[in-house]
Structure 1
Amino acid sequence: MTTTAITGTTAITMDAARRVIENATIVYEDDRIVAVGSAADVTIPAGAEMIDGAGTLTLPGLIDSHAHAGHGLTRNLGAGAGDAWFDACEDIYTRGSTAGFWQAEAQLSALERLKAGITTCTMLLGGGADHYRTDTREAGDLHCAATRETGIRTMLAAGLNRAPFPKTYRSLDLSRDISLSFENQLAVCAELAESHNDLLGTGTGVCLIMPVYQPDEFAENPETIRRMCRDVMDLREKAGLLFTQDGHRNGSIELAETLGILGPWSYLSHSVDLTTQDMQAAKRSGTSIVHNPSAIMSILGRCPAPELRDMGVNVALGSDAAAPDRGYDMFRHMAQCLHYHRRHFRDPEVMMPIDVLEMCTIDAARAIGLDGDLGSLEVGKKADIVMLDREQAHFYPPIMPLTAAAQFANAGDVDTVIVNGNVLMRHRKTKLDERQILNAAAQELTDAVARCDLEHLLQETA
C-alpha cells in the first residue's frame, strides 16, 4: 500500500458542504482518499510520500461531459467556416481516415485533456454530425488504448449513424468500400462495450449514442426509428450501459421520452431552445443535460441551464471540443457559462462560481452515475486530483478561491494531475513522449487532408 499526502494547499472540495479549506491536507492510500481537512485536523501517516501544495488551489479532477474523437486533428480546417468543416469531418471520418489517424488523434486529445486537468471525459467516436467510426472496433480500440497509456479516464460514446441505411465507408486500410448497416454498427458497439467498459478500473468506459430525431423527422419514418430505439435500448439494458445524445432542441426531448430512450442513465448534450415539455420530460425521467456554452449550437440557440437547475434537473458542463473555435479548457467554458447566462438575464448573479464548478465536477459525476466515486475530494472517493499553480499575477491577491478558479484560471495553470492515485503530471511535466504525439498528429492531418483533397481548407481568411 502506498500512502501520499498533499499539504499546504487550498482545497475546493465540492463535498456536500462545499467546503473550501485553507492550509489543507489531503491523504490518499493507493487510489482512494482517506483524509481531507485542515492541517491541524489531519494526521499524516508515517512514511507517506509528500506533495508540497503551497501556493496551489486543489480541485477534484475535472469532468468534461461532451467532446468528440476525431476533432482534435480537424479542429482548424476551414478557418471557422462551419458547413465546410462539418463536410470535411464527414469526408475524413468515413472515407479518408486510417488507423494511424485515429491513434494520433486519440493521443493528442488525451494529452490536451491531461494538461487541462480533465481526468474524465465523454468522447464521441466521431460526430460532426452523426458519423461514428463503428464499422469495425479498430478505431474504438485505438482510442481506449491511448486513454490507458495516458492514464486518464474516457467514456467512449460508440454509436449509430442517422437513418437511412446502408452507409458507405472506406475501410481504415483504404483498400475497400464498406456498406455499413445499422445492425453492423450495433454489433460493433456491443463488442466495444464487452472489451472496454470499466471506467473506474482500467479508465475506459463505453456508452451508447444514436442521433437526435426531431418530431418532423420522426413523422416521416416512425416505425424504423422506433425499432432502432428499441434495439439500442435492448443493448443498453443488457450490457448495463449509459446512453448519450448530441444536439437536442425544440421538442426532441419530449419525443425522446415517448421513444423510451430517457432515464437516469441518459445525458443529453447541447439541448437548446427547449420547450416547457422538453424540460419537464428531462425532470420526469431523471435525465441529465450537458450544457456546452462555447459551442456553435449555443450561438444558434440557448440552453436554459439555470432554469433546469432550478427545476432540479442535473446539468453538467461539456467542452464540445475540439472544434474550429474551442478546445478542452474547462476553465474557459466555466467562465463562458457564467457570462452566457448573465448576459441573457442581464443579471450578474444568475449563476455563480460554485454553480459552474459543480457542473464540471460533482454534477458531471452524477450524470454518469459515479458521484459516489468521482467529482469531489472526500474520504472514500477516487484520488482524482488537480492542483493549480496560484503563484501567478492573474491569481493574485490570493483571495476568494471559488472566484479565482471559475473566472480567472485557465488550462495552463494546471500544475499537477493525479488520477487513480497516480501522478500523471507534475509541474506540467508528463511521462509521455509529447513531441512524438505532436509530430504524429501533424503528419496524420496532412495525410488525411491530401487523401480527401481538402488542401483549400488550410487557407486562413483575411
Structure 2
Amino acid sequence: METKVEQIITADWLIPMTQADHWIENAGLLIRGTEIIAVDKLDILTEKYPEVSHTHLEGQALLPGFINSHCHAAMNLLRGLSDDLPLKQWLEEAIWPVEAQFVDNSFVYQGTQHAIAEMLRSGTTCFQDMYFMPDQAAKAVKESGIRASIGMVVVEFETSWAQNAQDCIDKGLDVFDQFKHSPTINFNFAPHAPYTVEKTTLEKLGMLSNELSLPLQMHIHETAYEVETFIEAHGVRPLTRLKEIGLISPLLNAVHMTQLNEGEIEWLADGGSHVIHCPQSNMKLSSGVCPTKQLLEAGVNIALGTDGAASNNDLDMIDEIRSTALLAKLDYLDPTAMSAYESLYAATMGGAKALGLQESIGSLEAGKLADFISIDLNCIETQPVYNPVSQIVYAAGREQVSNVWVNGKQLMSNRKLKTLNSDLILQNARHWRNKIINR
C-alpha cells in the first residue's frame, strides 16, 4: 500500500475562513496526502508530530485558495482585443466574429493553459469555466493539477463546438462521462443566458441538473438592456421565466445579476440560489452593480468571478476581492456595506458553496482537501500588519502570492510554476495574437 506523504506547513498567520475576522498567529497545517489532518499552532504541531517534515513561511499568511466562480478561461487569448465598448456591441461586433473564425481545439486547450497559469500565479486553486470545447479545457485542467468545475456550455445557434442546443448537451454529457472520475474535475451545466437559450432547452437542463446534482451557471440580468429586450420579446423578466420553470434552486449559479428588485432577491434567498458577482467586468462594460449588501442581508450566498480576460482584463482574484468591498461601499455610501472579511469569504467559502464543494474546499479545516496558498506580507507595501485579512484585501497584490497547493500537491513554489511550461504558454499566446491580428 502506498504511504501518504506527511508535511507540516506553517506561517506567521493562518486565516482558516471558519469565523469572521479570525486568524491564528504562528500556525499551520498537517497535510497527509491530499487531506488536511490538523490545523493548529506551530509549537503544538511540531511537538505532536516531531518526525514530520516542517516548512515555516516567515512573514507570510496561509489561507484557502481563491475560487474563481465564473470565467471563460480560453478567452485569455482575446485579452485586450477590443476594449471600451458596451456589452452588446463588444459581443456582436468584436468577440463573436473572432470566435467563429478561430476557436478550435488548440485555441481552447492553449488558452485554458494560459488562464490556469495566470490563475495559479494569482492564488486561484479552483475555477468554474464556461466555454466551448470543454473536453480541451478538462484536459488542460487535468494536466496542470488545478481544480475546476467545467461548464457544459449550451447555446441554440451553431458554433465550432456544436450544431445546436441538443448537440451541446449530448457532447457535454460525453465529456462529463469521460472525466467524471478525475479527483480535481467537476462539472456544471452552462446555458449562456435566458436570451440565447430557449425555454424548452432550459427545462431540459433543469431536469438534468437535478438528476445529476450538478450546478447550473448562467448569465442572468447582466444589463438593463438585456432585461428590457427580454420583456419586449416574452412579456416577463428573465428571472421570472427561470422561476416559472423551477430553476431557482440551490443548484443555480446566477452570474452578474446587476438588475434585481426586492422580490427577485427574495426568490433567490428562498430558493437557496447563489449569485456570482463579477465587479470588474461589470464596471468595465458599464453593465451595472450587483446589490451585494441587500443580497447578504437576505441570506443569499455570494461568490466571486473574474469573467473572461477579454472583458476584465485579468484573472486577478485579489483585485476582484478588493473591488467587491470598495464598490459596495461606494454603491451604498456605507463603509460597512461589505467588509474585508465578507469579500474574502465570497472568494473562498462563498465560491465553494456555489460549486457544491463546501464539504471539501473553501476553508482550512481538518478533513478538507489541501487546497491552500501563501501570501508574502513581508514587503514595504504590506507592512506593518495589524490585521492580515484587511492587509490582503486592501493592500496586497497578486505578485505576493508565493506558493500554491491543490489536493496536497504544490503547484507553485516561490512564484515558480511546477506543472506548466511558462515559456511555451507565452509562445502560444504570441502565435494566436499574430493569427488574429492578421486575419
Fold match (TM-score > 0.5): yes
The equivalent of 1:444 in structure 2 is 432
Shift in alpha-carbon separation, 1:242–1:79, aligned structure 2, 3 A: closer
Asked whether the equivalents of residues 269 and 289 of structure 1 are also in contact (C-alpha less than 8 Å), the reply is: yes
Cα–Cα, structure 1 residues 255 and 194, in superposed 2: closer, same or farther, change >3 Å?
Answer: same
Mapped to 1, the partners of 2:263 and 2:92 lie a distance apart of 30
Shift of the 17–300 alpha-carbon distance from structure 1 to 2, 3 Å rule, reads closer
Query: Which aligned pairs between 1:353-372 and structure 2 lie closer than 5 A?
Result: 353-372=340-359
Alpha carbons 1:115, 1:425 under 8 Å: kept: yes
Per the TM alignment, residue 35 of structure 1 is displaced from its structure 2 partner at its CA by 1.2
1: CA distance between counterparts of 2:319 and 2:218?
23
State the aligned residue count: 418
Matched, 1:284 2:270: yes
CA shift for structure 1 position 8: 3.6
Aligned match of 1:322 in 309, 314, 336? 309
Which of 108, 119, 122 is the aligned partner of 2:128? 122
- Output the CA distance in 1 between the equivalents of 2:114 and 2:192: 26
Distance 1:366 1:84 in 2: 31
Contact 1:27/1:44 (CA < 8 Å) preserved in 2? no
The correspondence for 2:54, drawn from 45, 50, 53, is 50
What is the CA–CA distance in structure 1 between the aligned matches of 2:388 and 2:41, rounded to whole Å?
16
Is the 1:70–1:93 contact (alpha carbons within 8 Å) kept by the matching residues of 2?
A: no
Superposed CA RMSD in Å reads 2.1
Q: Is the 8 A contact 1:316 1:364 kept in 2?
A: yes
Contact 1:101 1:445 in 2 (8 A): no
Distance in 1 (CA, whole Å) between partners of 2:365 and 2:20 is 11
- Is 1:105 matched up with 2:111? yes
Q: Is the 8 A contact 1:12 1:20 kept in 2?
A: yes
Q: Which structure 2 residues correspond to residues 26-425 of structure 1 after superposition, within 5 A?
A: 26-42=29-45, 43-82=47-86, 83-84=89-90, 87-125=93-131, 133=132, 139-161=133-155, 163=156, 167-170=157-160, 180-198=163-181, 201-213=182-194, 225-248=198-221, 251-296=237-282, 299-425=286-412
| Greater Cα offset, 246-255 or 186-195 | 246-255
Deviates more, 1:11-20 or 1:59-68: 11-20
Q: Which runs of 5+ in 1 are unaligned?
A: 126-132, 134-138, 172-177, 218-223, 454-462
SS at match of 2:433: helix
In 1, the alpha carbon distance for the partners of 2:160 and 2:67 equals: 33
Q: Is the 8 A contact 2:281 2:311 kept in 1?
A: no
2:74–2:110 CA contact under 8 A, matched in 1: no
In structure 2, distance between residues paired with 1:170 and 1:342 = 42
Offset, 1:410: 1.5
Matched letter for residue 88 of structure 1: A
Distance 1:106 1:8, change over 3 A: closer
Q: Which runs of 5+ in 2 are unaligned?
A: 228-236
Deviations 1:72-100 (A, max 9, x none): 01011124335246533212323322322
**3-state DSSP of counterpart to 2:286:** helix
Q: What is the letter of the counterpart of residue 354 of structure 1? A: Y
**CA–CA distance in 2 between the matches of 1:299 and 1:388?**
32
State the Cα distance separating 1:303 from its structure 2 match: 0.7
SS at match of 1:300: coil
Q: Report the alpha carbon displacement of residue 413 of structure 1 after superposing the two structures with TM.
A: 0.7
Counterparts in 2 of 1:285 and 1:246: CA distance versus 1, 3 Å = same
Deviation at 1:312, TM superposition (A): 0.7
Structure 1 residues 378 and 168, CA gap change in structure 2 (3 angstroms): closer
C-alpha displacement of 1:408: 0.9
Q: Following TM superposition, by how much is the alpha carbon of 1:368 offset from its aligned partner in structure 2, in angstroms?
A: 1.2
- 1:129 alignment partner in structure 2: none
Distance 1:170 1:338 in 2: 39
Q: Secondary structure at the match of 1:23?
A: strand
1:457 match: none
Using the TM superposition, give the Cα deviation of residue 145 of structure 1 relative to its aligned residue in structure 2, in angstroms.
1.2
Q: Provide the C-alpha distance between the structure 1 equivalents of 2:310 and 2:325, rounded to a whole number of angstroms.
A: 21
- What is the SS of the residue equivalent to 1:373? coil
In the alignment, what sits opposite 1:433? 421
Q: How many Å apart are 1:205 and its aligned residue?
A: 1.6
Offset of residue 280 of structure 1 = 1.2
Secondary structure of 2:117's aligned partner:
helix
In structure 2, C-alpha distance between the alignment counterparts of 1:428 and 1:262, rounded to whole Å:
41
**Cα distance per residue 1:155-186 (max 9 Å; x no partner):** 1112211x4xxx34457xxxxxx7x1221111
Distance 1:90 1:444 in 2: 16
Q: What per-residue deviation string (whole Å, max 9, x for no partner) do you get for residues 294-315 of structure 1? A: 1136733221111111111111
Q: 1:72 to 1:357 in 2, by over 3 A?
A: same
Residues in 1 aligned to 2:25 and 2:265: alpha-carbon distance in whole angstroms: 39
Moved over 4 A (4+): none
2: CA distance, partners of 1:9 / 1:157: 37
Q: 1:70 to 1:87 in 2, by over 3 A?
A: farther
Change (3 A) 1:313 1:19: same
